[in-house]
A and B are shown apart, each in its own frame.
Chain A
């Protein structure tokens, strides 16, 4: 008899639900001649909601499944919730965009669901190979999604660029994993930690750690591995750009944290120094480069690089305070950035014709509610109270001060002051300036209104009542240490 490992589908059920949803979209979409996008969007939303429901038991679990390959713990639960929120809002913001030019690109939703499922495997993985499989499932789906728009050469360029650089970073990641395997004789995270604790490995372990760090830095777009970000974010379909800047980043950071604290914890002294430098570079370059952008998608791309810098500050701060602050920050960032990109998709109109900063002139006069929502998102990105972005930055910087990184926090606060300029420039354009000629009226769909409403309410709610969510984040990271 062959020993069959215990199969615990309950733990990976959320990801499985998304996979099944994706398969349904793929088959049904090709048999429905009309309204395939609307149908696929509904199926995707149902899949996300069901996954949300079956995800909740994970919060109470703290065990491993599939012979230690997957860990079911509150950390996985929190990250899954984050990814599902991102996927749900992205589905809502994408509907209009995909039907605009008369093409029924229903595959978008299947790929979106597969990407989310890959991320969920990634964040709950307890073994570097499972992480890699999740990473590839996610990356391959997103490469295709970025290049999906058939009529846009920019989209194709974005897809190809992302494919090549993403492939490189995956290879570097695997190379690092190979070094760690050489040291520990296993790729399971606890096993690596156990070997490193004895002080074995020496230089080889450091090389492996460094290569993994480069791989992750590519995925989270940390300077100096950020080159692909502005071009890919600019070329990809706008709702997808929001998804990439939120969900892909959140999943990459979640795994980054799990691998570096759970497996490479004994090397913390070494990698903290590197991350310190990375955080400073990322915050400075992201914010300064965003100052000179005229295209709002590029501006938000550099802003998302800067936000990766703030998140790395959380990793430098380390332990429970830093990582729980990161989770809260990611939650705040999810609502904020998806909302902002939703507005960009809406104002961009058909074929992304209006994505320059000047296209926002006079928006407050023609669409006051939309301008208010955009202002809330931009305030939150800049970190102005009482939005969620403020609480996120506050908790991260507080954790860093507590851990003794005063200079890092000073640089962080200074760069974040710089960022206020470019966020407020958009607000100024919306409220103070008048457009040269009146642009065509915006076409709101019910899905877009719902998405922007959820995002705006989310930003305000978790900003004004942060305690519950901060406690949840703190509770979630407990099992990591």
Chain B
């Protein structure tokens, strides 16, 4: 049972921090409500109205680009920690990897995927 004591502790601390943030921000913040601010949050869309409305899905292209570069980071971080041991081999390998990603970026850029009209 002793082993669970730290977990209980974390639970308490987390509850305290969460409660403190909410209470403090209610007490200290300046209240300047506008109708838009009072709307329920729905990813930037109007929450009231027909659910079958058409909307542009441009965001998915940005989302895909984000994933691509996110995965690049997943590779880059472990690589960076052992870079001094991998030496020139690791450098060249990563260079090729980034170059391939760059080609993809150039392609979508040329195709106009980054322009948000």
Residues of A participating in the B interface, judged by any CB pair closer than 8 Å: 1-2, 4, 7, 23, 26-27, 30-31
Q: In the complex, which residues of chain B have a beta carbon less than 8 angstroms from the beta carbon of A7?
A: 89
Q: Which residues of B in the span 49-71 have a Cβ within 8 Å of any Cβ on A?
A: none
Q: In the complex, which residues of chain A have a beta carbon less than 8 angstroms from the beta carbon of B89?
A: 4, 7
Nearest chain A CB to B29 CB, angstrom units: 47
- Count of B residues near A, CB < 8 Å? 11
In the bound complex, do residue B86 and residue A4 qualify as a contact, i.e. CB atoms below 8 Å apart?
yes
Q: Mark B82-117, 1 if CB is under 8 A from A, else 0.
A: 100110010000000000100110110011000000
Which one, B82, B100, B110, contacts A30 given CB within 8 A?
A: B110
Nearest chain B CB to A103 CB, angstrom units: 13
Q: Identify which of B82, B107, B110, B111 gathers the most chain A CB atoms within 10 Å of its CB.
A: B107
Nearest chain A CB to B45 CB, angstrom units: 25
A-B contact count (CB 8 A): 20
Q: How far is the CA of A30 from the CA of B86 in the complex (A)?
A: 35
Residue in chain A with minimal CB distance to B100: A23
Q: In the complex, which residues of chain A have a beta carbon less than 8 angstroms from the beta carbon of B104?
A: 26
Q: How far is the CA of A27 from the CA of B103 in the complex (A)?
A: 6
Residue in chain A with minimal CB distance to B110: A30
Nearest chain B CB to A104 CB, angstrom units: 12
Q: In the complex, which residues of chain B have a beta carbon less than 8 angstroms from the beta carbon of A1?
A: 85
Q: How far is the CA of A40 from the CA of B106 in the complex (A)?
A: 17
In the bound complex, do residue A30 and residue B111 qualify as a contact, i.e. CB atoms below 8 Å apart?
yes
Sample 20 A-B pairs with CB under 8 A, ordered by A number: A1-B85, A2-B82, A2-B85, A2-B86, A4-B86, A4-B89, A7-B89, A23-B100, A23-B103, A26-B103, A26-B104, A26-B107, A27-B103, A27-B106, A27-B107, A30-B106, A30-B107, A30-B110, A30-B111, A31-B110
Q: In the complex, which residues of chain B have a beta carbon less than 8 angstroms from the beta carbon of A31?
A: 110
Residue in chain A with minimal CB distance to B89: A4
Q: In the complex, which residues of chain A have a beta carbon less than 8 angstroms from the beta carbon of B103?
A: 23, 26-27
Q: How far is the CA of A4 from the CA of B107 in the complex (A)?
A: 33
Q: A26-B104, A27-B106, A27-B107 known; 10 other A-B pairs, CB under 8 Å?
A: A1-B85, A2-B85, A4-B89, A23-B103, A26-B107, A27-B103, A30-B106, A30-B107, A30-B110, A31-B110
Nearest chain A CB to B92 CB, angstrom units: 10
Q: In the complex, which residues of chain A have a beta carbon less than 8 angstroms from the beta carbon of B106?
A: 27, 30
Nearest chain B CB to A51 CB, angstrom units: 18
Q: In the complex, which residues of chain A have a beta carbon less than 8 angstroms from the beta carbon of B86?
A: 2, 4
Q: How far is the CA of A1 from the CA of B87 in the complex (A)?
A: 10
Nearest chain B CB to A4 CB, angstrom units: 6
Residue in chain A with minimal CB distance to B82: A2
Nearest chain A CB to B75 CB, angstrom units: 15
Q: In the complex, which residues of chain A have a beta carbon less than 8 angstroms from the beta carbon of B110?
A: 30-31
Q: In the complex, which residues of chain A have a beta carbon less than 8 angstroms from the beta carbon of B111?
A: 30
Q: In the complex, which residues of chain A have a beta carbon less than 8 angstroms from the beta carbon of B100?
A: 23
